[in-house]
Amino acid sequence: MRLPVISPDKLTPEQKALAADMKEEIAQKYQGFVNIREDGALMGPWNPWLHEPKFGKPIWDLAKAMAVNPCVPAAVREIAILVTGTHFKAPYELYAHVRMAERRGLSDEKLTTIVSGQRPADLTRQEAVAYDFASALISGGTLPELTYKAAVGQFGAQGAAELSYFIGFYCMVSVTLNTFDVPVPES
């Protein structure tokens, strides 16, 4: 790992405020995987964001905004996030979101297929649309019109936009994790 995990007693006042906000949200929405050390230090993407609160706070604010009343169902969002994390080969991202996807009822077979870079044959219609949407966007270029229309048909215009923002956000998360070589925590 390229950035040391910041112990709570080493945080600046600006970092302490950001860390407190992050911990509150983590306790509510990011369960099922290791994201806080025993001493209270934040792990995963939260640690790099704490190192640079000038960027970390706006990134965190975006994460919180996207979590407010989402149109796209949680399990479907996890499909798009895992497609994105797989593309970037971001180990911590995959570790965290496989666990979140399991908690949202996605089967081990689906998850194994997705993280191996393949499209599962047994996706629901909404899952398939999210998979195709994420896959097309991370491949580069303009999203195909039929893929966009399928997303609007499944999630509405706001939901299609939301799906795009989730994928873009998790591209940034994956790049952050890969830049700083954030490891999967030891069990």
**Using CA atoms in the order 171, 136, 88, 162, what is the torsion angle rounded to 10 degrees?**
20
Q: Are residues 24 and 116 in the same domain?
A: no
Span 140-155, average pLDDT: 98
| Arithmetic mean of pLDDT over the chain | 97
pLDDT over 80 (residue 99): yes
Asked if residue 1 is part of any domain, the answer here is no
Q: Are residues 128 and 41 in the same domain?
A: no
Nearest to 106 by CA among 83, 147, 142, 75: 75
Q: Are residues 33 and 80 in the same domain?
A: no
CATH number at residue 167: 1.20.1290.10
Asked if residue 2 is part of any domain, the answer here is no
Quick one: pLDDT band at residue 34, thresholds 50, 70, 90? very high
Q: Are residues 58 and 143 in the same domain?
A: no
Asked if residue 3 is part of any domain, the answer here is no
- What does the pLDDT read at residue 143? 98
Stated pTM of the model: 0.95
Q: Are residues 96 and 147 in the same domain?
A: yes
Span 19-27, average pLDDT: 96
pLDDT over 90 (residue 186): no
Structural domain for 25, as ranges: 8-66
pLDDT over 70 (residue 187): no
Span 140-162, average pLDDT: 98
- What does the pLDDT read at residue 6? 98
Alpha helices, DSSP H, located in the chain: 13-29, 46-51, 53-66, 74-88, 91-103, 108-115, 125-138, 145-179
Asked if residue 58 is part of any domain, the answer here is yes
